[in-house]
Amino acid sequence: MLRNASDSVIRVCEKNPHYYQYKGKEILLITSAEMYGAVINKQFDYRKYFDLLHKYRLNYTRIYPGAMIEKTGMSIGENNLAPGPETIVPWARSSVPGYIGGGNKFDLDKWDPEYFARLKDFISYAGQKGIFIEVCFFNAQYPESFDYSPLYREANIQGIGDCDHITFQYMDHDERLFARQLEYVEKLIVETNEFDNVIYEFIDEPTLFMCNSLRVYKWISALVDKAIEVEERLPKKHMLAQQLEFGVSFADDDRVAVTVTQYIEGLSRQVGGTLALNNVYCFDKPIELNETAVLPDWFVDCDPVTASRAEAWEFMVGGGAAFNQLNGYFNVRNPEAKDETNYVILDGLDKLRTFMEGLDYVTMTRDVNTVKGVSCHANINLISEKGKRYAMYMHHGSLNYGSIRRSYYVPGLGKFAPVIKMDMEKGGYEVTFIEPKTLKVVEKRVIACDGGEFDLPCPEYEEDIAILIKAVTE
């Protein structure tokens, strides 16, 4: 039986296990969020950040709580995950100078009360704004930034972490390190158990650097066991999550309730987007797409508004439970992400939430059989309750296979009026064509289906189209 969360905590939906519920009501998680450093960077004003998310009805964010710290300029120019001297983590600073990020080294025998006060205020304020937090304990350590981690031998006064960035994820390589990793997971769970708006994730990008997949899997499995053991003696139980990546999958493991995915295709061993839905939807768990190309830095030769919309809409209308766009507009200098292009993107995600909440989506599941083909190149995803209602999203973008930092859609150009070959149950249906960027109705018509295959012509549109089909007998 799938391990679920307590009744008061965000948990797997009882009516449809592909979605979440909170306080007895189904809920979707949709956001465009900062670079995971909101807590460990003391200069970042997360209250202004949450206020802006709340304004656009975005309700989700993800944090790295201290084991993974990046080097300045590593991923994007202004990176919250590279705090420098303003780094605050679960471990207290010692009196010994020499931390590469600035200031004194860390003392792994002492926890930092200031950090946990900040963490709890972060989660509490998010809850007041209706925002859910995914706490991701670890990330694959990068060779250029591993020495910034407090669990690296030169970053702490105990000299723990006598390994490289790959063997950091092997529980049998360094027993002292593994013991500290378990302590870290336990401490974070104990300190945050009181909150209902939390999901625990174990590691992002676990096999990114071609490490031994079996050894990494065993390490993650031990972390899962530790989390369960800790929560068994605490008042509340929370959902556990783990990313799907080549070589590591917990999609069929009942201990882990949520399957995490990243990017829209297999990128650097990661499995995301439609590819992930096609592979693991059958295991009846919520599936997240919780990392995308980073706004605005990675959108070098592409309209970020249209490309972002395609990523979000196709995943959520394809049966996803959560979408998190990685958004570098949020930074220390600009915690409210003041930018006109960004506002358009956030408004587009608000419209996606409006569209999805207008459906009875909890009665619908991913549908790969109703659409048999389309008369021009198109990416089509849909969910349905067959014979009753269908929701479809179609765009004409293509994958950008350039630099690793360009993993997104290049939108299709021009106008489109394709014919979709459908296979549906006999009956009368109302068909509504909707422009996703505005939610305006482009056309509405009633059709009769004799059962089986038929052609559905689309009205002319640009970029993309959403289609609702509803049985008229309802």
The domain ranges of the chain are 11-362, 367-471
Q: Are 229 and 189 in contact (CB under 8 A)?
A: no
Give me the pLDDT at residue 210, please.
80
214-228 burial, b if ≥16 CB within 10 A, otherwise e? ebbbebbbbbbebbe
Q: Are 40 and 89 in contact (CB under 8 A)?
A: yes
Give me the pLDDT at residue 196, please.
98
d(C-alpha 426, C-alpha 412), whole Å: 34
Give me the pLDDT at residue 460, please.
96
d(C-alpha 356, C-alpha 78), whole Å: 33
d(C-alpha 288, C-alpha 189), whole Å: 21
Give me the pLDDT at residue 449, please.
94
The answer, yes or no, to whether the previous bond of 296 is cis (omega within 30 of 0) is yes
Q: Count of CB atoms within 10 A of residue 340's CB?
A: 6
Quick one: CATH architecture of 367-471?
A: Sandwich (2.60)
Give me the pLDDT at residue 405, please.
63
How many distinct helices (H) and strands (E) make up the chain?
Answer: 7, 26
Q: Count of CB atoms within 10 A of residue 254's CB?
A: 12
For the packed helices 340-357 and 304-316, what is the interaxial angle rounded to 10 degrees? Answer: 20
What tokens appear for 32 in the block? 């465009």
Give me the pLDDT at residue 167, please.
96
What residue has token string 């049985």? Answer: 471
Q: Count of CB atoms within 10 A of residue 274's CB?
A: 20
What residue has token string 């004409």? Answer: 396
What residue has token string 């489109």? Answer: 416
Report helix, strand or coil for 365.
strand
d(C-alpha 406, C-alpha 248), whole Å: 24
What residue has token string 């009744």? Answer: 7
d(C-alpha 302, C-alpha 406), whole Å: 9
Give me the pLDDT at residue 413, please.
80
Q: Are 318 and 366 in contact (CB under 8 A)?
A: yes
CA distances from residue 45 to 15, 75, 83 in whole angstroms, order as listed:
38, 20, 13
474 residues of the chain, pLDDT tens digit each = 999 999 999 999 999 999 999 999 999 999 999 999 999 999 999 999 999 999 999 999 999 999 999 998 888 889 999 999 999 999 999 999 999 999 999 999 999 999 999 999 999 999 999 999 999 999 999 999 999 999 999 999 999 999 999 999 999 989 999 999 999 999 999 999 999 999 999 999 999 888 899 999 999 999 999 999 999 999 999 999 999 998 899 999 999 999 999 998 766 788 899 999 999 999 999 999 999 989 998 887 788 999 999 999 999 999 999 999 999 999 999 999 999 999 999 999 999 999 999 999 999 999 999 999 999 989 999 999 999 999 999 999 988 866 666 678 888 888 999 999 999 999 999 999 999 999 999 999 999 999 999 999 999 999 999 999 999 975
The verdict on pTM exceeding 0.95 is yes
- Helix or strand run (H / E) with residue 79: none
Q: Count of CB atoms within 10 A of residue 74's CB?
A: 14
Residue partners of 121: CB distance under 8 A and separation at least 6: none
Shortest CA distance to 171 belongs to which of 135, 208, 202, 148? 202
Q: Are 139 and 204 in contact (CB under 8 A)?
A: yes
Provide the H-helix boundaries in 159-212.
Answer: 175-192
Superfamily grouping for domain 11-362:
Glycosidases (3.20.20.80)
What tokens appear for 78 in the block? 């202004």
Residue type (1 letter), 144: E
